[in-house]
Structure 1
């Protein structure tokens, strides 16, 4: 059963003939008859009886049509939801790392959604990149520029990064946190490799690194978002590194001129501008 099947039942009841239903639904008359026969087989019911050249609904058909009418009302109400909401309507899927979603987007999402009641956001968080070619997301934030792809790409921000070290720990005593080998090309790892540090805690989760640093027994490099408490911690030494981490925004091509997408893109950019000013 699907909505088109139910529309055929209603059209035959209203028009009284397959020809009338055909004209109303703009499908072939033989198609109406064939699909109605299939519907009757699926339901195990006889829906219409022919009398004086008119298709009259059976008692069972009237019961079905009562539900069809209710469904039609709900379908109409669903179609009007967008009309009752100010501004664009849509649902956007945003893919990013957990840290970006939690520390950059989520703190600012409630105000954005309250200002745009027709919009909904779905956050897709993972350390793995989504496959845009498979339409797994509408927007994505990546910390490494993709080599190629069928999507629009632009730089969001240059994120400051800091080395945090416990002041009380003697040289070499602090547990050094590093990222895994696949992130060797990042500014954070380039800096640590140049210092020839021995990484003893390996993780791509910045929350794990931050927790270790907060113990005042570990050192590591973190992006500026989510580091306000560490920067004000007098038991830590924070060194701003010369290189910054780029953040890139990927947008599905078909959404470049979509009103809901444009508002969301502008909001994402504003989120990153805010942390850059902070």
Structure 2
């Protein structure tokens, strides 16, 4: 059931006419009639009967209205929740890669959420970019700067990247690379200089890390995915001269929203702590 449609039932009952409900809800009178017909078809019930020029609720309608009344009470209570919570209130959808969500944001999320009880974060993790034009996310963290778009974009910082190779292995190590569509990133630019045919191709950083950890493979990893590997004596780590830039995208209509501003500040802190580490 659509809550807006259910409100129409209550408005018709209170006003007695479609015209009265239309004026009260500020919607077209024909829309009132159409939506009521839709509910009646969905429920298999007749909700109103015409009597003396008015719309009188049927017995079945009164039963429906009892639930609508309870829903209205709950809706009002939901609206008052923010009044009891300190700080900003809202639900923010953050789109990013699995590695950034798991290794940069998640370790710092608990403290942030405990300090802001009115906020809820939803992490949308995927190697595919969300479509901001369809409002699939509120914020996005990307490792490539978008060419254009109807959103606010700012640089979060950069990420150090390392090339790992086994110190000792029989024959040529298995080279891990990223897909061809990521050919412009610094990792792929460096790997092309190795003149080794990639044997494992993936956009999943965890897969590359697992292969490198086997001491049989070579590949490039961002710093947040390889902290423990840097101390592995069976691996040789080379810090690459180029770094990955990190970009923050924000829906334009949310730039001045209090909950969004607090979340943006937190995201920036996550990456500044990463840079200091």
TM-score class normalised by the smaller sequence: 0.7 to 0.9
Hey, what's the Cα distance between the residues in 1 that align with 2:60 and 2:200? 70
Q: Who is 1:262 aligned against?
A: 261
Hey, what's the Cα distance between the residues in 2 that align with 1:36 and 1:204? 48
Change (3 A) 1:99 1:33: closer
Structure 1 unpaired stretches of 5+: none
1:70 Cα offset (Å): 1.1
Hey, what's the Cα distance between the residues in 1 that align with 2:168 and 2:151? 49
1:149-168 mapped onto 2 (5 Å cutoff): 149-168=149-168
State the SS of the aligned residue for 1:165. strand
Contact 1:94 1:139 in 2 (8 A): yes
1:38-77 mapped onto 2 (5 Å cutoff): 38=37, 42=41, 44-45=45-46, 47=48, 50=51, 57-77=57-77
State the SS of the aligned residue for 2:102. helix
| Alignment size in residue pairs | 275
1:59 Cα offset (Å): 3.7
State the SS of the aligned residue for 1:211. helix
Q: Who is 1:148 aligned against?
A: 148
Change (3 A) 1:267 1:219: same
Q: Who is 2:114 aligned against?
A: 114
State the SS of the aligned residue for 1:225. helix
Deviations 1:186-211 (A, max 9, x none): 11121222232332222221111111
Q: Under a length normalisation based on structure 1, what TM-score does the superposition of the two structures give?
A: 0.86
Deviations 1:71-116 (A, max 9, x none): 2111111211222222222111111111111111112122222221
Change (3 A) 1:45 1:271: same
Structure 2 unpaired stretches of 5+: none
State the SS of the aligned residue for 1:177. strand
State the SS of the aligned residue for 1:76. helix
Contact 1:166 1:219 in 2 (8 A): yes
Q: Who is 2:184 aligned against?
A: 185
Deviates further, 223-232 or 41-50: 41-50
Moved beyond 6 Å, runs of 4+: 17-20
Contact 1:45 1:60 in 2 (8 A): yes
Hey, what's the Cα distance between the residues in 2 that align with 1:36 and 1:265? 41
State the SS of the aligned residue for 2:87. coil
Q: Who is 2:132 aligned against?
A: 132
